[in-house]
């Protein structure tokens, strides 16, 4: 005979299944919106997405759903461990949203959808003024949301950070980024003083997009992406969409004269998708899937992109296919020249195209700006100039226009707090790199293409508990140590000392 708690848990599950249907449909609509939807169709499609998102909000925040969430949280000790995790997550969300009305939610959803469309138009025109009003609206929407929370933190920006990386706040990130910034700037100075020159003349040669598409499919399959549970298409700003348990889709952006751009975009987004395709089935059954923090996710995508994808062993593995597909355009490029070129260190304007070493400074810039925007110290109209000044100070480059400056990233159309995840991801994976190298022939597996072994290690060690633990708990369980930038800086030091003959 079922207890009262079991009955309420089962009732909650029925409601969560219905909510999952809405989320599945919204995932498909959003994927279409950001990939193939015609420009003039987007306003109507955005309105449709806002409508269904609002219906999902009403279901999630109905009186009965709230009663079930509160009851189960009060009786959480009667639940099994995965249901206790679900109860904690739902109660945290309830505390954030209990004072939000459906009208509030619909208004904010429309603000974000309009911001995305305005950002697209502004980027095409390289004109920040076309996006500034929407950005101001996004900032105000964030303030309104935090003000309504029962469980808000004193600092506005900490609330946003906590939404993406629970428990990792600005006081800790200040220390982390200071250590990272100092270490990166020192290493960059030594690299720039190196007399070793890397061949780059072939990097801007035109490669037909159909050939790049064939290479994309090859790379995804090689790394372990399951095409029976996913697909790849194009978009303005590449992303990965976790639409459903058996539907993790990858996007990229092809440039004829930037073949490496697509190559590493695909490896990066494929890393996200491999994480999504290997979440435990039990997590889906208990509705705790997709609770992986952004830093955890970025640790995996950047592990595949950089630690694996830019390694000497990986270039050795893929070089025959690279030479076969691009013989006409890049047939004179040797394996060593390709390896050094994919690891070229050169301060640049575009974050997604940045090398491993300078990339962290792109994140430092965004972190410092986000803090000032959220504190009110940096008004919207001053953002482009502040952006250019920081790029000049930290990287020695200055944007020629807004498209290659402040408009290059899509993330601010949905609010603030995401960007630190990229740097945290680098730190996390540098820490668990030491573990995988101790426990298996990691470099040999890459060189010989034994990615099923790597994926199995990742499944057991990195993926298994990611939905079930906070970032700090997960990192301690995985590595036995708290967050540090030291491992990442040491990894870069070893690798680039060899490449640049330091």
Give 34-67 pLDDT, tens digit per residue: 999 999 999 999 999 999 999 999 999 999 999 9
Report the catalytic residues.
Answer: 269
Give 130-150 pLDDT, tens digit per residue: 999 999 999 999 999 999 999
Residue 461's closest CA among 448, 475, 447? 475
Percent residues over pLDDT 90 in the chain: 99
Average pLDDT value for residue range 293-299: 96
> Is the confidence at residue 111, as pLDDT, over 80?
yes
Q: Residues 6 or more apart from 394 whose CB is under 8 A from it?
A: 181, 185, 361, 364, 365
Give 158-200 pLDDT, tens digit per residue: 999 999 999 999 999 999 999 999 999 999 999 999 999 999 9
DSSP assignment of 225-280: --GGG--EEE-SS--EEEEETTEEEEEE---TT-HHHHHHHHHHHHHHHHHHHTS-
Give 354-412 pLDDT, tens digit per residue: 999 999 999 999 999 999 999 999 999 999 999 999 999 999 999 999 999 999 999 99
Q: Kindly report the average pLDDT of the chain as a whole number.
A: 96
Nearest-angstrom CA–CA distance, 262 and 47: 32
pLDDT (0 to 100) of residue 459? 98
> Is the confidence at residue 437, as pLDDT, over 90?
yes
Q: Residues 6 or more apart from 108 whose CB is under 8 A from it?
A: 141, 144, 145
Residue 430's closest CA among 460, 496, 475? 475
Average pLDDT value for residue range 463-468: 97
**What structural domains does the chain harbor?**
4-152 (no CATH), 170-500 (1.10.1370.30)
Percent residues over pLDDT 70 in the chain: 100
> What pLDDT band is residue 1 in, cutting at 50, 70 and 90?
low
Nearest-angstrom CA–CA distance, 75 and 373: 41
Q: Which H or E run contains 296?
A: helix 294-302
The pTM for the full model equals: 0.94
Nearest-angstrom CA–CA distance, 262 and 312: 19
pLDDT (0 to 100) of residue 347? 95
Maximum Cα–Cα distance across the chain: 77
pLDDT (0 to 100) of residue 119? 97
pLDDT (0 to 100) of residue 352? 86
Please give the backbone phi and psi of residue 241, each rounded to the nearest 5 degrees, phi first: -120, 120
> Is the confidence at residue 353, as pLDDT, over 90?
no
Q: What is the DSSP letter of 462?
A: I
């Amino acid at each position: 005979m079922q207890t009262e708690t079991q009955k309420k848990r089962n009732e909650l599950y029925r409601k969560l299944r219905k909510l999952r249907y809405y989320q599945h449909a919204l995932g498909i609509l959003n994927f279409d919106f950001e990939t193939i939807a015609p420009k003039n169709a987007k306003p109507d499609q955005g309105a449709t997405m806002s409508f269904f998102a609002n219906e999902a909000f009403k279901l999630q925040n109905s009186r009965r759903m709230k009663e079930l969430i509160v009851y189960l949280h009060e009786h959480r000790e009667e639940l099994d461990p995965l249901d206790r995790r679900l109860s904690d997550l739902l109660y945290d969300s309830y505390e954030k949203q209990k004072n939000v009305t459906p009208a509030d939610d619909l208004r904010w959803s429309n603000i974000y959808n309009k911001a995305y469309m305005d950002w697209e138009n502004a980027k095409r025109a390289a004109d920040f003024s076309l996006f500034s009003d929407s950005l101001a609206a996004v900032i105000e929407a964030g303030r309104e949301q935090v003000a309504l929370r029962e469980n808000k933190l004193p600092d506005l920006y900490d609330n946003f950070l906590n939404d993406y990386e629970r428990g990792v706040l600005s006081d800790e990130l200040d220390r982390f980024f200071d250590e990272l910034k100092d270490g990166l700037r020192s290493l960059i100075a030594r690299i720039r003083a190196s007399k070793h020159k890397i061949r780059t003349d072939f990097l801007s040669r035109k490669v037909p997009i159909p050939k790049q598409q064939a290479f994309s499919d090859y790379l995804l399959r090689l790394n372990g992406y399951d095409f029976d549970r996913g697909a790849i298409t194009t978009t303005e700003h590449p992303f990965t969409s976790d639409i459903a348990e058996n539907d993790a889709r990858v996007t990229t952006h092809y440039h004829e004269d930037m073949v490496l751009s697509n190559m590493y975009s695909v490896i990066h987004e494929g890393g996200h998708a491999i994480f999504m395709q290997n979440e435990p089935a039990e997590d889906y059954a208990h509705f705790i899937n997709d609770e992986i923090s952004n830093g955890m996710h970025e640790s995996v995508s950047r592990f595949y992109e950089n630690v694996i994808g830019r390694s000497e062993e990986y270039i050795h593995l893929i070089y025959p296919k690279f030479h076969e597909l691009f013989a006409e355009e890049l047939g004179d490029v040797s394996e060593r020249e390709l390896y050094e070129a994919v690891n070229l260190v050169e301060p640049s304007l575009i974050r997604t195209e940045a090398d491993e070493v300078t990339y962290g400074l792109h994140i430092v810039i965004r972190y410092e700006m986000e803090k000032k925007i959220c504190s009110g110290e940096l008004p919207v109209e001053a953002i482009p100039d502040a952006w250019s000044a920081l790029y000049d100070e930290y990287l020695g480059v200055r944007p020629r226009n807004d498209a290659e400056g402040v408009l290059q990233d899509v993330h601010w159309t949905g609010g603030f707090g995401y960007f630190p995840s990229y740097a945290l991801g680098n730190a996390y994976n540098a820490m668990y790199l030491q573990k995988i190298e101790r426990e298996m022939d990691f470099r040999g597996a890459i060189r010989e293409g034994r990615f099923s072994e790597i994926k199995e290690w990742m499944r057991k060690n990195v993926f298994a508990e990611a939905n079930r633990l906070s970032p700090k708990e997960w990192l301690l369980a995985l590595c036995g140590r708290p967050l540090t930038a030291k491992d990442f800086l040491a990894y870069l030091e070893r690798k680039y000392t060899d490449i640049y003959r330091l």
